[in-house]
Structure 1
Amino acid sequence: MKFKELAKYIEEIEKTSSRNTITELLSSLFKKLSENEIRETIFLLQGRLVPLYESKEFGMAEKLIVNSAVTAFDIEKNKFILELKKIGDIGTAVEYFKNKIVLREQDLSISEVFEKLTILADAEGKGSQEIKINVLADLISKLDPLSTRYLVRIPIGTMRLGFSDMTILDALSWMMRGDKSLRPILQHSYHVKPNLGLIATILKRKNGIDKLKEIEPEVFTPIIMMRAERMSSGDEIIKKIGVCAVEPKYDGFRLQIHKKGNEVKMYSRNLDDVSHMYPDIIEGIIKQIKETSIIIEGEAIGYSPKTGEYLSFQDTVQRKRKYDIETMKMAVPLRLFLFDLLYLGRKSYINQEFKKRRDQLEKLVKISGNQKIDTILLAPQTIENSGSSIEKRFDEAVSKNLEGIIAKKIDGIYKPGAREWNWIKFKKSYSSKIIDTIDCLIMGYDFGKGKRTGFGIGAFLVGVYDKKNDSYVTVAKIGTGLTDEEWKELKKRSENKKTLKKPIIYKTNDQIDSDIWIKPSIVVEIKSDEITNSPLHSAGLALRFPRLERFRDDKSPDDVTSFEEVKKLYLSQLIK
């Protein structure tokens, strides 16, 4: 397929606010593509060249895009910048000049454009900026005006078409069956191997659906992490899952560790490769685990080198950085508490019951018993058969400044990406009616007034995930309770996440709006006094006196609290 035709599809997608229409457009597009083209196209629609968990950055800011455009059109830079300021969008500005300036165009294919963008992204070191500018300038000169609008948005991550990975899965189902009936199979495959390009390619092949049903974990391809439901008493937990394994809930950051030989990679909840940030964990894995091919999970938490006491999340999260890693490694050393085994040798363990996974995990880790030596430990575990004994374990965890406990169904399997009752977290807040905090997605913000005019932001809109309708619904607009530094940080984080229109996956009532919409990306932990009914918010519920606890860089939009969870919290208030 020619890139020109893809651009026409993108334009139609950009025009519509209907999720069903977008699904149909994508399905129509996918039907026309070959195995290779569908992989490339899906990545380009997401503004990438590789899956999310692989590192391949374009290394271009808007300034370099401007330089590429000026080179392609052979015009004065000031002339282009003046028009860009009037238009407000780099893609539309490039399209404007392409319509005015006649250049010799070539009808490039999707694969040809993809190959050139790969060359651009691969350029590193001395002279790389000039290579990037020239490669993009060459593409601008060869493509038609509409194509250039979307071409230049790709390297700077501003495609922002407003649909989620789940919409792509629905479109693939429509491509094959004319309905969404394949969504469960496709979603499970995606949760085991979160590579939409790969899934679409397999689906295009003979017996593709059967092959996706058999998809297995693979070392160095992160599995989307399983999540826990929540309850507020030991009795509730016993009633739900019976005799269970109980482990402390550490307030650190969850890691999925992949090891093959002496090569180790670590991934966060949102699939980022964070291996370079935690060299001490990698050293511990190589030293204490001799198996050559494994995927395991654990929680990393900082501790004081002087007292041995575990640190708060705010202290631990200092380790998440790109620079001064060795200095912080000494100041905030980490311990990793392993709690699950997903893959060993050539065998997947995700469909094995928890007890078998845990038993095998215990055999893998060499622990000396000297905490001054061991970086890798097993999460302590007890088997409990009563609500009172679970409450006792909870009290012990809280007394050690831990978050609470996790109860695990002994015969429960590991369900990638799912939030089910195989795991139940038990946390409490003693200062408010609400049990636990709520992880919310920042959906948009309003401009600041008065003192906050200088911040450029005065209130932000947050929502939770409505799984049934595959949408985010609003629960609060927060305009107080943040320090000046937090307002500035929020504005900084939002700057390159702005989108031209409200994402179609956001559901809002007419009374609730935002001056600026943010694409699904920023997760925050919110505390409030209680949950109330609300005709203003699309959830039908609202957080009363909401306040920001912390940014959750370790969580993706898929990890935010569900609408069902919020509803359960609301109902639990009524019976207290």
Structure 2
Amino acid sequence: MLLSDLSEATETVAATSSRLQKVAALADVLRRLDVDEIAPAIGFLIASPRQGRLGVGWRGLAILDVAHTDVAQLTVGGLDAALDRVAAAGGPGSVDARRRELETLAASATAAEWHFITRVILGELRTGALEGVLLDAIASAGDRPAALVRRAAMLSGDLGETARIALTASPAELEEVGLRVGRAVMPMLASTAASAAEAITALGRDASVEYKLDGARIQVHRDGDDVHVYTRSLAEVTHRVPELVEAVRALPAQRLILDGETLSLDDDGAPRAFQDTMSRFGSEAAATVALRPWFFDVLHVDGRDLIDEPLSTRLEILDQVVGDLRMPGVVTADPERAEEFGREALAAGHEGIMVKALDAPYAAGRRG
């Protein structure tokens, strides 16, 4: 497929506020992709190329002075291969090598395509093609149930691979995508409410009310002594957070998938500034600020998948597994108690609270 087809589809998506029209435009372009173009195209559509960080910033792109072609000839596969070469540039002279690759790429693209490419590289493609819209488009293009596509995407943590299966494989293969210890899972997301009382009232029944920390979301996988820590975006940061690894190795289970948050505390036990926590995720430097984990959900324990179990069951198991590493929380149907607990969270220096239905499976909290 020509890259211009993909770029034009994103312009169509950006030009409409209709979710149905966004889904239709994306589904149309997805149907026309070759098999080996699917995963790269999905990465381009969400401005997250499969190569990851390319070592190129705004300045590196702004200084390029290249005449673009007037004829659209660059393909999706051609852009993917070019980004492979940019990502592979390393060692002495890597800056110049990346610049040369980018100059060649820019010269092979039209002005409109280069505008699209730069936004993909910088992660700034604002088209309205949010993950939920794209998942619906994948389901439409592959004629697969949207719920099945969403579940496969959540459990695989890989939107491109999910699209490949949905568009080219059998429905049975999509259904077979399951939870795997060591493979990051797309995290459960939440919507907002004006107040804790409003959230409790809307549920109309007992709910789990938990602290919301001003920290970093983490997902931790353990298989024996092998532990992996992932961020909200599913980037692995295991080597940067050895204290989290050791904390999980000390837990009384051999195979685990845990969902939680982490932040750093000062000498009095109060939370440090958010940037102190985040600095641990973005630096290779030796740790000078220790992190502490709090876990609020468990997806798997010692051979048992829990994502379809109600939250009440998962919390019982979580208590048994993580002990005092459990996120502080209460169970209540009383709006006043929820508000009181929210004030306690704020007084402790935290961001607020989360309200969760006790009968909800993990996948039910996933929204796009």
Question: Which TM-score band (shorter chain)?
Answer: 0.7 to 0.9
* Aligned with residue 256 of structure 1, among 187, 197, 219: 219
Question: Which structure's CA Rg is the greater one?
Answer: 1
Match of 1:507 in 2: none
Task: Evaluate the alpha carbon distance shift between residue 388 and residue 119 of structure 1 in structure 2; reply closer, same or farther with a 3 A threshold.
Answer: closer
Matched, 1:7 2:4: yes
> What's the secondary structure of 2:56's corresponding residue?
coil
The percentage of counterpart residues that share the same residue type is 21
Amino acid at match of 1:360: I
Match of 2:77 in 1: 111
Match of 2:311 in 1: 354
- Distance in 2 (alpha carbons) for counterparts of 1:363 and 1:353: 16
Task: Evaluate the alpha carbon distance shift between residue 40 and residue 385 of structure 1 in structure 2; reply closer, same or farther with a 3 A threshold.
Answer: closer
- Kindly report the root-mean-square deviation, in angstroms, between the aligned alpha carbons of the 2 structures: 4.0
- Distance in 1 (alpha carbons) for counterparts of 2:356 and 2:10: 43
* Aligned with residue 248 of structure 2, among 285, 288, 295: 285
Structure 2 portions without partners, runs of 5+? none
**Are the counterparts in 1 of residues 244 and 291 from structure 2 also a CA contact under 8 Å?**
yes
Amino acid at match of 1:17: A
**Are the counterparts in 2 of residues 67 and 133 from structure 1 also a CA contact under 8 Å?**
no
Between Structure 1 and Structure 2, the one with more strand by share is 1
Q: CA deviation at 1:202?
A: 0.5
Matched, 1:295 2:257: yes
Match of 1:220 in 2: 183
Task: Evaluate the alpha carbon distance shift between residue 283 and residue 416 of structure 1 in structure 2; reply closer, same or farther with a 3 A threshold.
Answer: farther
The number of residue pairs the alignment matches comes to: 361
Q: CA deviation at 1:217?
A: 2.8
**Are the counterparts in 1 of residues 7 and 113 from structure 2 also a CA contact under 8 Å?**
no
> What's the secondary structure of 1:135's corresponding residue?
helix
Match of 1:165 in 2: 131
**Higher relative contact order by CA 8 Å / sep ≥ 6: 1 or 2?**
2
- Distance in 1 (alpha carbons) for counterparts of 2:114 and 2:331: 61
Task: Evaluate the alpha carbon distance shift between residue 65 and residue 291 of structure 1 in structure 2; reply closer, same or farther with a 3 A threshold.
Answer: same
Match of 2:360 in 1: 412
- Distance in 2 (alpha carbons) for counterparts of 1:402 and 1:354: 23
Amino acid at match of 2:161: L
- What's the CA shift string for 1:442-471, capped at 9, x where partnerless? xxxxxxxxxxxxxxxxxxxxxxxxxxxxxx
Q: How do residues 415-454 of structure 1 correspond to structure 2 at under 5 angstroms?
A: 415=363, 417-418=365-366
Match of 2:26 in 1: 26
Structure 1 portions without partners, runs of 5+? 71-93, 100-104, 368-375, 420-557, 559-576
- Distance in 2 (alpha carbons) for counterparts of 1:257 and 1:389: 31
- Distance in 1 (alpha carbons) for counterparts of 2:329 and 2:9: 54
> What's the secondary structure of 1:49's corresponding residue?
coil
- Distance in 1 (alpha carbons) for counterparts of 2:78 and 2:203: 59
Q: CA deviation at 1:259?
A: 2.8
**Are the counterparts in 2 of residues 235 and 386 from structure 1 also a CA contact under 8 Å?**
no
Q: CA deviation at 1:250?
A: 4.5
Task: Evaluate the alpha carbon distance shift between residue 196 and residue 382 of structure 1 in structure 2; reply closer, same or farther with a 3 A threshold.
Answer: closer
Task: Evaluate the alpha carbon distance shift between residue 120 and residue 260 of structure 1 in structure 2; reply closer, same or farther with a 3 A threshold.
Answer: farther
> What's the secondary structure of 1:241's corresponding residue?
coil
Match of 1:460 in 2: none
Task: Evaluate the alpha carbon distance shift between residue 400 and residue 416 of structure 1 in structure 2; reply closer, same or farther with a 3 A threshold.
Answer: same
Q: How do residues 447-486 of structure 1 correspond to structure 2 at under 5 angstroms?
A: none
Q: CA deviation at 1:199?
A: 1.6
Task: Evaluate the alpha carbon distance shift between residue 405 and residue 44 of structure 1 in structure 2; reply closer, same or farther with a 3 A threshold.
Answer: closer
> What's the secondary structure of 1:283's corresponding residue?
helix
Match of 1:310 in 2: 270
* Aligned with residue 58 of structure 1, among 54, 61, 72: 54
Amino acid at match of 2:25: L
- Distance in 1 (alpha carbons) for counterparts of 2:288 and 2:98: 34
- Distance in 2 (alpha carbons) for counterparts of 1:232 and 1:143: 51
TM-score of the pair, normalised by structure 2: 0.77
* Aligned with residue 205 of structure 2, among 237, 241, 244: 241
Between Structure 1 and Structure 2, the one with more helix by share is 2
Match of 1:133 in 2: 99
- Distance in 2 (alpha carbons) for counterparts of 1:111 and 1:206: 21
Q: CA deviation at 1:148?
A: 4.9
Match of 1:337 in 2: 294
> What's the secondary structure of 2:258's corresponding residue?
strand
* Aligned with residue 167 of structure 2, among 200, 204, 228: 204
Q: CA deviation at 1:201?
A: 0.1
